[in-house]
Structure 1
Amino acid sequence: MARPLHNLVKKEAPWKWDTKEQEAFQGLKDAITNAPVLCHADPAKPYFLETDASGAALGSILSQQQEDGCLHPLGFLSESFKGAEQNYDMHDKELLAIICSFEYWHIFLEGTAHPITVFTDHWNLEYWKESRTFNLCHAQWHLLLAGYNFQIVYCPGKQSSKPDALSCQSDHANVPPANQTMLPEPVFANIALVLPEKELQRCIESSLDQDKSLEEILQFLQNKSKALPSIKCAFKDYQMEARLLFYQGRIVVPDIGTLQTDLLRIFHNSPLAGHPGRQCTLELTHLYQGNLFLFSQM
């Protein structure tokens, strides 16, 4: 936005204030005066929590939707990881960002009238609440979060630049800010109708054992400690979480019955998909929410 003004003051650049410079100047003024500003918390409105973690720190923003349809921040949090926290894997650092945010804003987030929507750029965390196997640390975190009414929603990293700026330095990329106006309720209703996520998850879970091409991978994950080094190397990108099989962070969809074609139909018929052609539908399935699905045998 400010590039024409920067170019204007470069060394030996001729001074010429034209339409382009005036539009940049006016655009900066509008962005500064009209951007969503801090608001006071309203207990009657839903809360939105955006979180992110880098290798060294965490960042989060607590917001509420105001009358203009935009999310307005209520507060910001940015903290460095301390001691053993610095050695956590990325999954646990992202989860710790959520834990610290709830503790920091507990006066707002305890006993809320509406579920708190937590946005994270780590897809696996969306199923973390449903996991049945924990280590001691995860069990403690589960107990802490049990006192809050919330849902975790995956938000691709490209769309979560605000908390990312609090957890690590900005790369100063010349990218325009994304429109933050909330989608109207009818659109969310359409998504709920065409994307029955829990039902789809159950179908994928129950079909994993039936796909013969995944049999060796599942056996490896059940007896990982006894596997040969060559097997560990071959299957190092696979992991089981919340009873789902992931490959490099993407859910593996078994080649059983009509499961894969049903998934393609969901993406093709969705009101938000625009009824694309064959190739675009396949690309959309792979690109949706940051490479969400990986089809076996395809």
Structure 2
Amino acid sequence: AEPLRKFVPTTRTQQKKGQKTIITLTDDELKAFNQRKQFLTTDMVLRLPNNRFPFKVQTDASDEGIGAVLLQIYPEGNRPIAYLSKKFTQAQRKWSPMEQECYAFICSLDKWHNYLSGIKFIWETDHKALTQLNQKAQVNKRCERWRLKIVEYDFKVKHIPGLTNTMPDYLSRSPVDEAEEDPDEVSLLISKSTQTDFLDINNHSSIVTAVQTRAMKLRNRSLNDKNDTTILSSDTLNKENRTIPISIEQFIQAQQNDNYAKKILNNIKNYKHYIINDNLLMRRTNPPVPYVPQGEIRKTILNIYHDTAANGAHFGRDKTMYKIKQRYFWPSMYKDIDNYVKSCILCAQFNPRRQKTPGTLKPIQPPDGVW
């Protein structure tokens, strides 16, 4: 086989060692050189942020990743301030297009929070379904969670054709930054309706629970059987259930004072998910559990099953939810439990960190590109 160089035409710059070559540019080469100078001195160069001009965010998503551009609207046109280009994880590739497009905007806000927080700006996207993101609740649960996360920002959503969304489109098709899992960080919410003080439950003589044992014989009975839910005294309870210092009569009285419970009690035939057992409103589950009215009872239940050493031991959201839903029900219990656990000071202070601790400081390598 002949060497490859025999089939490659030599160039005018290929000379022997030590010889100098005078380079003469052709018209095409000179045109390309001038274009390069133009690119380096016009729109393609990043501008420094200037608060006198409004900001604009353009985003897009593809099968590979997301792209975004932070722009400012100058009198002579849009000028780029920063770029974002990130790959998708394997899980994120399976998201719906709406979720991927929304995720691009969420990442943009996380990266450019210092520029966009506290000011009005425009978000331009070619996904028309997201134009109502900041106007109404979303059916998609992931997008709804993100919508609640970005309520602090003041922005207007504008739909643009995909043909004009070129910069984010290119950045999304050739992503640069490595993929990251969505941290699912929701602002710490302290619910005044659920956070309570610590209750002392060492005195079991006054404790009467409302509701269910978890004996297997009760699980196998019919939902409509009146024996499904028994009025239990402290003598018939095991130690696990001796937790709620509320009598059955107090429970029934609290339900009768609750507007939502009264509505169901007066129209029980219209609510197929509820039954009445000895004047106690129950949720039709297997086994049935009582409806917990608003007020101090919910606070007490949350405190007992999360804070107390006897029953709660400061377990996380899922374990606390599992223990409570075995015995009680109210419509917003998942949200209340989630907020209660997140607002627990002891959990925040003593739970171990799941992330790797920061390492020592190292020199920052200069980026290869503008983003």
- The TM-score range, normalised by the shorter chain, is 0.3 to 0.5
**Greater Rg by CA:** 2
Structure (1/2) with the larger helix percentage: 1
What is the TM-score normalised by the length of structure 2? 0.38
What is the TM-score normalised by the length of structure 1? 0.47
